[in-house]
Amino acid sequence: ILNVEQSPQSLHVQEGDSTNFTCSFPSSNFYALHWYRWETAKSPEALFVMTLNGDEKKKGRISATLNTKEGYSYLYIKGSQPEDSATYLCANTPLVFGKGTRLSVIA
Amino acid sequence: SQTIHQWPATLVQPVGSPLSLECTVEGTSNPNLYWYRQAAGRGLQLLFYSVGIGQISSEVPQNLSASRPQDRQFILSSKKLLLSDSGFYLCAWTGGAMNTEAFFGQGTRLTVV
């Protein structure tokens, strides 16, 4: 099982700011990279599943990029809102998660 | 549509007692199934995953075990709980391919006293 590292561990931003976090993973034997959003008292929900080098996916104000050759993925949130406050998790195969980035958006 | 059920939602058990948490998936066949634990202040740790009946991969050596007696049923067990087993346990499933998103149960909050 290959470990996934996420940074930063936590992040506080003002409402309206754009932000991004990093997920690093071993580039060998890569299969897929997952991003999830985990709100307190709820179950994690999938944001993106990415497989191809150079992949870029978008869902509303949230987007993600993937570089399988160097082993990293970025998650971007444009114009952060208080409802974006959550822990953002990335995972490689077979769904081994990083420790997450806890985002707090201050109104 | 597919759904995942996990129970119980909360559980308080004494040290040394047995444990059985159950997870079932409906609306799909041959899912990949996963058990995770989040200990206090920690991330989501993969405990077990299964790609088919009777096929269990263990990621963390400990006093927990998992079984998959039926295609869509995944059970997490312990013969004797430790204080360190306290945490939030989540079950999840994905389709057969590893590039499909995971769906999670509602979780079980286990407190070992």
Tell whether A89 lies on the interface with B, counting CB pairs under 8 A. yes
Q: What is the pLDDT of residues B38-62, one digit of tens each?
A: 987 778 899 999 999 989 998 876 7
> Which residues of chain B make contact with A32, given a CB cutoff of 8 A?
98-99
Over residues A30-75, the pLDDT tens digits come to 889 999 999 988 899 999 999 999 999 999 999 999 999 999 999 9
- Confidence band of A2 (pLDDT split at 50, 70, 90): low
Residue in A49, A91, A99 closest to B100 by CB = A49
Q: Which residues of A touch B106 (CB under 8 A)?
A: 43
Residues B57-93 pLDDT 10s: 988 767 899 999 999 999 999 999 999 999 999 999 9
SS3 B65: strand
- Write down the residue that tokens 């079984």 correspond to: B67
Task: Give the DSSP per-residue string, A20-77.
Answer: EEEEE---TT---EEEEEE-TTS--EEEEEE-STT-EEEETTEEEEEETTTTEEEEEE
Q: What are the angstrom distances between the C-alpha of A101 and each of A13, A23, A37, B32, B74? A: 13, 9, 10, 26, 29
Percent of chain B past pLDDT 90, that is, above it, reads 76
Write the residue in B59, B100, B107 that is nearest to A43 by C-beta: B107
